[in-house]
Structure formats: structure tokens, C-alpha cells
């Protein structure tokens, strides 16, 4: 390697003075490493200790019956608390009024009565409570008893965790609407104070569906997604698969744009043939707008197509990088299973985290609020509220979840980068790579856990801010203070935070690669990686776009594969036992998205590592391409020939430079 004193004028003109530096005998990831960012590691350990303390506090102060037992209209736990006579209440919760209060019964109703003759055919509160309700006292008409909040219809229900969930919610809505019309009451006043109604029933039915099919939901959502992710990574061993995936994704963009333009063109022709369809506006204005839209999309399609043609060599380079990344994954096959290790680590954290969350949820207290049904009948309903300490505890648990999940991802990125960078710098790859996944993980844990904690902390703070903005938006809407101006401000905040999070994830990933290769701390690694990529921005853009297309394809492959399997599987196995097969399929797809995201990290980190190794090697050695070519000629090549050929096509003068000796 050339020292700064040995740089020629040509080297200085090429910007060699600003390039990366390394020891003269540098041949890959450094062997002598020091512990990086230890303070951040201590801070992470302290956060886990504080989370455990919070969980112990919640366990000591919470009432577990608040979680496992439903409450009646007097906020008593069914099956646990006692009534005035000291008798333990029955276990089943049955709906008793429109405010979603309930009573404790021995069994769930097994029949539906929407035309009750008298009070005996209704589900009612106790006599003492009814007599205390001024507008319900001495009322005998069954319909009035329902409207005033003293009773409710007997509806056939299904037992879900001791909660009797009505089977036919729509019939309840229709019956109430009929009674309201007969009484000259306004339907929109039914739930004064925005009391949860039909939507709550849907949530309860969805929870019941999940409970019925929980094994298939988890099996396909986690197990199926894992299998499909492994299958996709194995398919990357075939170079043809990468080639087809990348070019299919790239070519589909102008085709889609042209298709949209053609759709607008056909819509214009349709409006010209059927002017009565747009009588409410000027025909000429609509036709002109549609025609302009058609031309715009045609122009975009043509521009993208020309861009693909102009960048075909860059795309070929990106494909070469992706193929090299696929080969590195194939050469270190255990990295395929690394996401499983991350899933296990994440589940190990989620077990106590969920316990702490549930215990903290049990610390709430019940408060009563009185509202007026139809603006006439006062009804009291119960709300579950938390103290300020518990509310802050939920936010802290959410922060710990964000930090730890990103920390697990960061550890994986450093470990995988160490494996792939070692593969890159191994000259004779046929003899294998002298580093294992276990060894790389051990080095990462012993030396660079603090760096992983540092990068993940920054991302976790941004994610927490995004959650806080969402919570603020929800509170503003609940208070009725939202308007267009507020919505625009919140939307801008969300967009800025989203972009900031994406940028930090990109910077962090490349900083971890620098840590894996050179053993840098997070700040130094981020600085070196940022300016290294900045000096190679054009190539980075091409590689980033192509790899992103491949990863998007992988995610859709996993999500849609799991969702379709769940839809047909649940329909075949459970059938009428569940109320919404589509909702369960969406839930499975949501689980598969999380698992798929971890698997695409393997491909993404491989592509980023190989690319950064190449451009870093190019700067450190100042003769990388000649080294590749010479290695290729001797049969011990560092990168595939087609990757070198891509660079040679981009710069045909490479082999003519005075510093290239072979």
C-alpha cells in the first residue's frame, strides 16, 4: 500500500489524500480490536434493570383479576368479587345496556329474543340499581327498559374468556334502530359521549377468532414466514434468480406507468363517448385533465425507460454486487439461519416484557362516568384508567422495546458484516472462510456491543418520538380540537421523523460495516462510512435501488405467501368456527411482515457489506481493480469476473493506469 508520502500526482488528483487509510499489511477485517462505546452498553444494561424494577413494582401493586376477569356494571370482577350478601359473583359476563356494561351470569344466552313480552325475557340489572334510575323506575315496557339503560335484549352469544360475545351484532343494530324510530329518537344520539359500540364487538369477535385459530395464526405467521424467508435466501444461490428479479422489478416500473397512462387515455375516450357521466362539471375540463394525466404518465414511463437504458451498466454493476452478495451468503451458509437466532433473542426479551406490560396493565383503577342516551336517559359506564406513574411506565416499556429490538438487529448486522467482509478479503475462497458465524458473533458481543447499543439508541429515540406524535394526534381528535392546520403540522412532523429514521438506519448500518471491518466506534464508523459513500454516491445509488427492489420482492413473497396460505388454511380447517377469515389472514400477514423484515436484512447487509468492502478496498489499496483482475487470472479471484467486467466497462482506462501492474 502507498503511504501519504508516496502518493503520485495522479493519486492526489483522484482524491487519494481524503481516502481511507489502513496498515500496510491490511488484508481484511482487523484482528486486534478494542472495546467500543462501553458507556452505551452500560446505559442499555441500566435500562433493562430499570424495566425489571418497573415490572416488580407493577406485580406488587396490580390486581391480576383486572386482566383475567370481566367487570360488571358496578365494576366488580365476575367470578372473583362478591355481592352484597357475600356470594361470589358468577363467572360469565353478559351485555346489559348500550353503554357496554354487563352483568355476571352463570351461562351465556343460548337464544335470541328481539321481541320480548316482558322484563323476564331481558337481561337486566338488579332491582336496587333499576329503582335508583329515575327514568327507569316503575317502567314495565320492555322496549323502554332497553332504551333507558336498565336492560338489554337476550342475544345468543359465544363464550370467549368468560365474556359472552353476541353472535349477531347487525341484528342488534337493526332492532335498536326500529325501536328508536317508533319512539321518535335520533339514531345518532344513541351513544352519547362516543361510547364504544359495534366496533368493540368486532374487536371482541376478532379476539375470539384469534383464540380459536391461534395455533394456525402463529404457525403460519411465524413458522411459515420463516420457511419462506429461508427459501428465498436459498434461491439467491441461483444467479439467474437475482438477474430475473432485478430486471423484472426495474422493467415493471415503466410498464406500470405506461399502463396507468393508457388507463387515463381509455378513460378520456369513455367520457367522450358517454358525456352524461360527467354532467356535473365541464366536459372539456374533465377530458383535458384526463388527457394531460395520460401524457404525464406516458412521459414518465418514457423517461424511466431511457434512464434504465442509460444506466444499464450501473444496473449491471449493481447486479454483479448482488450476485457477489448472494455468493457470500452461499459461502457462509449459516448466515441464512441468523435471523432465526435474532427471532429467538427477540422472543427471549418479549417474554419478560409482555409480563411486565400485563402486570402494569393490571395497576389501573375503574372510574365511573355518567352520560345520557339519546340526550334523555342517564347511564353510568365504567372506564379503566391509569395513574400518571403507570402511564409513564407504558412509555418507558415502549422505549425499551424499540431500543432492544433495534439492538438485536444491530448485533446481527455487525456479525454478518464481519462474515461477509472476511469472505470478500479471502483470496482463495474455494478453501472456505476462516471465520464462523459463532466466532463473528462472539467478537461482536465481546468488543462491539456498545456500538450496537449506541446506534440502536438513536433510532429508538426517533421511533419513540413518532409514537408520541401519533398519540398526540389521537388525543387532539378525541378532544375535538383537530383542524386542517393541526393535521398538516402533525403530518409534516410524521414525514420528517420517518425520513430521519430511514436516514439513521442507513447511516447506522454502514457504520456497523465500518466497525466490522476496521473496529471503529459508532461515531467514527458513521463518519468514515458517510464520506466513503458520498465519494461513491452514483454507484451507491444504483446498488441501493437494485438491492431495495430485491428486498421488496422478498417481503411481498413472504407476506402474500403467508396471507394466502392462512386464508385457505383457516377456511378449510375452521370454517364456520371463525367469523372473519380475511381478518385473520391480515393478522398473519402482519406477523409475516415482521419476520420477513428480519430475513431481508440478511440480503441487505450482504449487499451493503460487499459494496462497501469494494470501495473501501479501492481506496485503501489504491490498486483494487488490478488486484481483482490479477487474482482472477491466477484463479484465486476476490470478486466474480462479471463484477470486474462491469467496472471495466464503466471505466475502460483502468488497465492503462501507470499504477496497475499485472
Q: Give domain limits for the chain.
A: 33-44+217-620, 63-190
Angstrom distance (rounded) from CA 474 to CA 632? 60
Which residues, at least 6 apart from 535, have a Cβ–Cβ distance to it below 8 Å?
A: 15, 18, 19, 615, 619
Task: Give 293's pLDDT tier (boundaries 50, 70, 90).
Answer: confident
Q: Tell me the Ramachandran region of residue 8: left when phi exceeds 0, alpha when psi lies from -120 to 50, beta otherwise.
A: beta
Angstrom distance (rounded) from CA 616 to CA 306? 31
Per-residue pLDDT, averaged over 380-384, amounts to: 68
Residue reference for cell 358496578: 74
The answer to which of 63-77, 343-357, 492-506, 558-572 has the lowest mean pLDDT is 63-77
Q: Contact 500/462 with Cβ under 8 angstroms?
A: yes
Average pLDDT for the chain: 77
pLDDT tens-digit map of 146-171: 878 788 888 888 787 778 877 776 66
Q: Contact 632/662 with Cβ under 8 angstroms?
A: no
Q: Contact 648/624 with Cβ under 8 angstroms?
A: no
Per-residue pLDDT, averaged over 176-192, amounts to: 52
> Which run of H or E residues covers position 621?
helix 581-621
Angstrom distance (rounded) from CA 315 to CA 243? 10
Per-residue pLDDT, averaged over 505-532, amounts to: 91
pLDDT the model gives residue 655: 44
Task: Give 461's pLDDT tier (boundaries 50, 70, 90).
Answer: very high
pLDDT the model gives residue 445: 92
pLDDT the model gives residue 180: 59
Per-residue pLDDT, averaged over 267-290, amounts to: 67
pLDDT the model gives residue 411: 94
Which residue has better confidence, 374 or 529? 529
pLDDT the model gives residue 634: 35
Residue reference for cell 361470589: 88
Which residues, at least 6 apart from 537, have a Cβ–Cβ distance to it below 8 Å?
A: none
pLDDT the model gives residue 514: 92
pLDDT tens-digit map of 19-33: 666 665 666 788 888
pLDDT the model gives residue 26: 63
pLDDT tens-digit map of 592-642: 887 787 777 787 888 888 888 878 777 765 444 434 433 433 343 444 444
Which residue has better confidence, 74 or 646? 74
pLDDT the model gives residue 7: 47
pLDDT tens-digit map of 410-424: 999 999 999 888 888
Angstrom distance (rounded) from CA 93 to CA 199? 18
pLDDT the model gives residue 511: 94
Per-residue pLDDT, averaged over 403-408, amounts to: 94
pLDDT the model gives residue 446: 92
Q: Judging by beta carbons within 10 Å of its beta carbon (0-12, 13-18, 19+), is residue 446 exposed, middle or buried?
A: exposed
Task: Give 107's pLDDT tier (boundaries 50, 70, 90).
Answer: confident
Q: Contact 654/625 with Cβ under 8 angstroms?
A: yes
Amino acid at each position: 500500500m502507498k503511504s501519504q508520502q508516496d502518493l503520485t500526482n495522479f493519486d492526489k488528483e483522484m482524491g487519494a489524500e481524503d481516502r481511507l487509510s489502513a496498515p500496510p499489511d491490511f488484508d481484511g477485517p482487523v484482528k486486534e480490536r478494542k472495546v467500543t462505546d462501553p458507556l452505551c452498553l452500560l446505559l442499555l444494561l441500566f435500562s433493562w434493570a430499570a424495566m425489571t424494577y418497573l415490572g416488580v413494582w407493577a406485580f406488587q401493586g396490580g390486581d391480576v383479576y383486572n386482566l383475567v376477569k370481566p367487570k360488571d356494571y358496578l365494576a366488580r370482577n365476575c367470578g372473583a368479587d362478591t355481592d352484597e350478601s357475600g356470594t361470589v359473583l358468577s363467572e360469565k359476563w353478559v351485555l346489559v345496556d348500550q353503554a357496554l356494561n354487563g352483568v355476571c351470569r352463570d351461562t351465556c344466552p343460548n337464544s335470541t329474543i328481539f321481541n320480548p313480552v316482558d322484563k323476564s325475557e331481558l337481561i337486566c340489572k338488579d332491582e336496587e340499581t333499576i329503582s335508583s334510575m329515575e327514568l327507569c323506575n316503575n317502567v314495565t315496557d320492555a322496549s323502554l327498559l332497553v332504551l333507558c339503560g336498565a336492560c338489554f335484549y337476550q342475544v345468543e352469544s359465544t363464550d370467549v374468556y368468560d365474556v359472552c360475545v353476541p353472535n349477531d351484532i347487525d341484528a342488534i343494530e337493526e332492532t335498536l334502530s326500529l325501536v328508536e324510530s317508533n319512539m321518535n329518537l335520533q339514531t345518532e344520539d344513541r351513544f352519547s359521549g362516543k361510547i364504544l359500540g359495534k366496533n368493540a364487538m368486532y374487536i371482541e369477535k376478532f379476539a375470539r377468532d384469534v383464540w380459536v385459530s391461534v395455533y394456525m395464526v402463529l404457525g403460519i405467521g411465524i413458522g411459515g414466514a420463516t420457511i419462506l424467508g429461508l427459501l428465498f435466501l436459498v434461491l439467491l444461490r441461483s444467479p439467474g434468480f437475482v438477474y430475473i428479479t432485478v430486471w423484472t422489478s426495474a422493467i415493471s416500473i415503466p410498464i406500470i406507468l405506461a399502463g396507468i397512462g393508457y388507463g387515463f387515455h381509455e378513460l378520456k375516450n369513455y367520457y367522450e363517448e358517454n358525456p352524461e357521466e360527467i354532467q356535473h362539471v365541464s366536459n372539456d375540463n374533465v377530458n383535458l385533465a384526463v388527457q394531460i394525466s395520460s401524457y404525464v404518465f406516458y412521459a414518465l414511463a418514457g423517461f424511466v425507460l431511457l434512464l434504465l437504458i442509460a444506466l444499464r451498466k450501473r444496473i449491471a454493476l449493481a447486479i454483479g454486487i448482488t450476485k457477489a452478495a448472494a455468493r457470500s451468503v452461499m459461502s457462509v451458509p449459516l448466515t441464512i439461519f441468523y435471523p432465526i437466532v435474532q427471532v429467538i433473542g427477540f422472543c427471549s426479551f418479549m417474554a419478560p416484557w409482555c409480563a411486565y406490560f400485563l402486570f402494569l396493565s393490571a395497576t389501573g383503577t375503574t372510574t365511573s362516568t355518567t352520560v345520557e342516551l339519546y340526550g334523555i336517559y342517564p347511564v353510568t359506564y365504567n372506564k379503566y384508567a391509569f395513574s400518571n406513574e403507570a402511564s409513564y411506565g407504558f412509555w418507558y416499556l415502549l422505549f425499551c422495546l424499540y431500543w432492544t429490538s433495534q439492538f438485536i438487529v444491530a448485533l446481527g448486522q455487525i456479525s454478518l458484516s464481519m462474515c461477509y467482509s472476511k469472505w470478500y478479503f479471502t483470496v482463495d475462497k474455494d478453501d472456505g472462510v476462516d471465520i464462523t458465524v459463532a466466532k463473528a458473533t462472539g467478537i461482536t458481543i465481546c468488543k462491539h456491543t456498545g456500538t450496537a447499543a449506541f446506534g440502536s439508541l438513536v433510532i429508538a429515540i426517533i421511533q419513540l418520538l413518532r409514537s408520541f406524535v401519533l398519540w398526540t394526534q389521537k388525543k387532539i381528535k378525541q378532544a375535538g380540537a383537530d383542524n386542517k392546520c393541526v393535521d398538516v403540522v402533525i403530518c409534516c412532523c410524521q414525514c420528517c421523523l420517518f425520513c430521519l429514521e430511514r436516514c439513521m438506519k442507513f447511516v447506522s448500518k454502514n457504520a456497523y460495516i465500518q466497525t466490522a471491518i476496521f473496529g471503529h466506534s459508532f461515531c467514527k464508523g458513521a463518519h468514515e462510512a458517510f464520506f466513503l459513500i458520498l465519494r461513491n454516491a452514483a454507484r451507491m445509488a444504483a446498488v441501493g435501488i437494485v438491492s431495495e427492489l430485491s428486498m421488496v420482492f422478498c417481503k411481498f413473497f413472504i407476506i402474500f405467501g403467508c396471507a394466502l396460505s392462512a386464508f385457505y388454511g383457516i377456511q378449510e380447517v375452521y370454517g364456520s368456527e371463525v367469523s372473519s377469515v380475511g381478518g385473520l389472514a391480515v393478522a398473519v400477514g402482519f406477523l409475516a411482515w415482521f419476520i420477513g423484515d428480519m430475513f431481508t436484512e440478511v440480503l441487505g447487509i450482504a449487499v451493503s457489506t460487499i459494496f462497501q468492502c469494494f470501495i473501501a478496498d479501492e481506496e485503501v489499496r489504491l490498486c483494487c481493480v488490478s488486484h481483482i483482475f490479477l487474482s482472477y487470472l491466477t484463479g484465486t479471484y476476490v470478486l466474480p469476473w462479471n463484477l470486474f467486467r462491469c467496472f471495466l466497462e464503466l471505466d475502460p482506462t483502468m488497465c492503462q493506469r501507470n499504477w496497475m501492474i499485472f
